[in-house]
Homo-oligomer: A and B are copies of this chain.
Amino acid sequence: MAIGRPRTFNKEEALDQALDVFWRKGYEGASICDLTAAMGINPPSLYAAFGNKEALFRQALDRYSETRAGFVREALAAPKAREGIAALLRGTAQSLADKSSPRGCLLVQGIAGAGDHAQCIRDELSARRAAAQKAIRERLKQAQAEGELAADADPAALARYFSTVTQGMAIQAASGASRKELERIADMALRAWPD
């Protein structure tokens, strides 16, 4: 049996570069030419390794979740839900203002954008935002069951509210808001906590 010529680039590093381009330009704004230039490869190598543009974007989304959105899971794992939400909001501010990454959130960019062929991409982004919101809701339900959160509180509404704030913060960050400004927003958002 023959093994074949090994690829001359690192797939993970190339994916990281692709993620950076998608992050800065959005799905439709990132052209294959932009991507291949950043990844240091030619189009046929991209298609052989990742399938097509849409498949590459989904893999970039997965990598984004693993490497950049890990603080969400960590935050929600805090012993107290209120501390968890506070950590989530402050972590969002910090992440959005991180100078080593593009401003803004990959899941919030490109809400409308683009023709009908990108509908499934919008649906994918919407589903991932909904999943994050659900994670918050479940944590709040747990807090309610444990007695930390009042019985007459509404976990779904609270989760939607905090999710709304983080998404709005992503837009503020993309418009140039500083880390301190974003943290200030996070602090004010916490005042809606029912205590």
Contact = CB atoms under 8 A, between A and B. Distances in A.
Interface of A: 23-26, 28-29, 31, 104, 108-115, 118, 126, 129-130, 154, 157-158, 160-161, 163-169, 171-172, 174-177, 181, 184-185, 188-189, 191-192
Nearest to A174: B111
Interface centre among A104, A130, A169 (most CB of B within 10 A): A169
For the residues of A in contact with B, the DSSP-based class is helix
Contacts of A177: 160
A129 B184 contact: no
A7 to B, nearest CB: 29
A123 to B, nearest CB: 10
Contacts of A28: 28-29, 113-114
